[in-house]
Amino acid sequence: MKKVVLLGDSIRLWGYGTPVEEALKNEFEVWQPTENCRFAQYTLRGLFDWRKEIEGADIIHWNNGLWDICELFGDGPFTPKEQFVEEMVRLATIMKQRAKVVIFATMTPVRKENIYNKNEVIAAYNDAVVPRLRELGVEINDLYTPISQDIERYISTDLIHLSDEGVRLCTDMVESAIRKAADRLTEKNDRTNAPATDAQGAPV
């Protein structure tokens, strides 16, 4: 049974996390923290605290960013973009050492009335971090694009969290990404364990 770890902020905790675990629990060992992973730095600290729970993970699915891009004082996001990217690279590097597959879910958009989180900033941070993570071999689960097609439908009236429909959409996307990664791991393992043949170069 493959082990899956779900990490992320409240988009996971109050959104897709529980339904994804419910969908996978009969076929996978699933673990996720009961707390909000908040900022990228908070998640980095958590990787130490949760090291025993993460040990042996086959797949880590993770999201961060909405806390980092939040602007409360009119002087810019909590975490400058360049710093955010480097923190995410550091996170990904550590996760890659602890799991066979790491999947990053892009930040979801917010409603336009949200004065503390802005979609142009979210998009810019996503655009900055995704190429760097791909270079490390991290798979990308793009939650931003489908949610942005109908924000009023997929984001709740609190202006930032997923609506019921948004939860269903993200649950399907996260479950699908994990299942596809698990299938690839199984195929890779099957190829590795395939019996050797004396007829080198022959189709098998």
Contact 167, 19 (CB under 8 A): yes
| Whole-number Cα distances in Å, 29 to 24, 56, 97 | 8, 10, 19
In a domain, 45, yes or no: yes
Q: What is the pLDDT of residues 152-161, one digit of tens each?
A: 999 999 999 9
Contact 173, 141 (CB under 8 A): yes
In a domain, 13, yes or no: yes
What 8-state DSSP symbol labels residue 168? Answer: H
In a domain, 121, yes or no: yes
In a domain, 203, yes or no: no
In a domain, 201, yes or no: no
In a domain, 106, yes or no: yes
User: Is the pLDDT at 202 greater than 50, yes or no?
Assistant: no
In a domain, 139, yes or no: yes
pLDDT band at 190 (very low <50, low <70, confident <90, very high): confident
Q: What is the pLDDT of residues 98-126, one digit of tens each?
A: 999 999 999 999 999 999 999 999 999 99
The residues, ordered by sequence, that sit 6+ positions from 92 with a Cβ below 8 Å of its Cβ are 102, 104, 133, 136, 138
Return the residue matching tokens 């270079």: 135
% of the chain residues with pLDDT over 70: 94
User: Is the pLDDT at 196 greater than 70, yes or no?
Assistant: no
Distance (Å, whole) CA 66 – CA 70: 6
How many domains are contained in the chain? 1
The model's pTM is: 0.93
Full DSSP string of 23-45: HHTTTEEEE--SS---SHHHHHH
Domain range for residue 180? 2-192
Contact 24, 79 (CB under 8 A): no
In a domain, 53, yes or no: yes
Q: What is the CATH number of the domain that holds 187?
A: 3.40.50.1110
